Amino acid sequence: MDPSARRSGGSSSTGGGGGLTPSSVDFPNLPTTISLTPILSSTPDQTIPPPPPTTLSRYESQKRRDWNTFLHYLQNHKPPLSLPRCSGAHVIEFLRYLDQFGKTKVHSLGCAFFGHPSPPGPCACPLRQAWGSLDALIGRLRAAYDESGGIPDTNPFASRAVRFYLRDVRDSQAKARGIPYHKKKRKRPLTDAAVAESSSSRSDVGLDEVQGSTSTGGAEAGGRSSSSSSAS
């Protein structure tokens, strides 16, 4: 018997039809190429969201606004002025420029309300920036200059001329408004030695008081004994 016929006969007996050769097998649902596009599109978005922007504090926000205002002032300066060429005199000029936006009444020397903390009526004296506002402004600009890469030794906001100007503004406004300036003294924390010294001083005072009362009582007792002996 022909082997081919035997093979075909065996296959026909098992399958009851044509042979199951690889060419005759049909997989209608299996694509020849696999694409990952629908798989990637169907998966949820697993990208890491960007971190939320950090919220600046009130001081940092004000410092940034003040710094931008000063840079804008330098750009509009005539002639235009760059930051490395800025000096203490330019900072003082900037502070005087801000006086036109002030809200503090500073009485002139010839005003009838000069030196009155609570004037009873209006006057024609100009409005100025308060000394406290200028002092806080210079502190923020001094820090912003250092943070922007400036050299601390050449910081124009920390110059001696600016410090003298702020001191003159403080004294003149205190006299004009009749509000004396009192520097707040910082309370230093007590060290162990200071606490021990204060406690020992208090104990010494107590001992002196006890010794004084004891000596006084002894003197009075001695006086009474001597008077009684003389009377007898």
- Asked if the structure places residue 107 within a domain, the reply is yes
135 is a domain residue: yes
Domain contains 40: no
Could you tell me if residue 209 is inside a domain?
no
**pLDDT: which is higher, 193 or 136:** 136
* Number of domains observed in the structure of the chain: 1
pTM: 0.57
Cis peptide before 79 (omega within 30 of 0): yes
Whose structure tokens read 């001191």? 167
Q: Is residue 192 part of a domain?
A: no
In a domain, 46, yes or no: no
Residue 150 domain-assigned (yes or no): yes
Number of Cβ within a 10 Å radius of residue 204: 10
- Evaluate whether 165 touches 92 at the Cβ level (below 8 Å): yes
Please answer whether residues 159 and 88 qualify as being in contact, where contact means their C-beta atoms are separated by less than 8 angstroms: yes
List, for residues 144-183, the tens digit of each pLDDT value: 999 998 888 999 999 999 999 999 999 999 998 888 766 6
Q: Does residue 23 fall inside a structural domain?
A: no
For residue 109, what are the domain limits?
58-177
CATH number of the CATH domain containing 153: 1.10.150
Q: Tell me the C-alpha distance between 102 and 176, whole Å.
A: 16
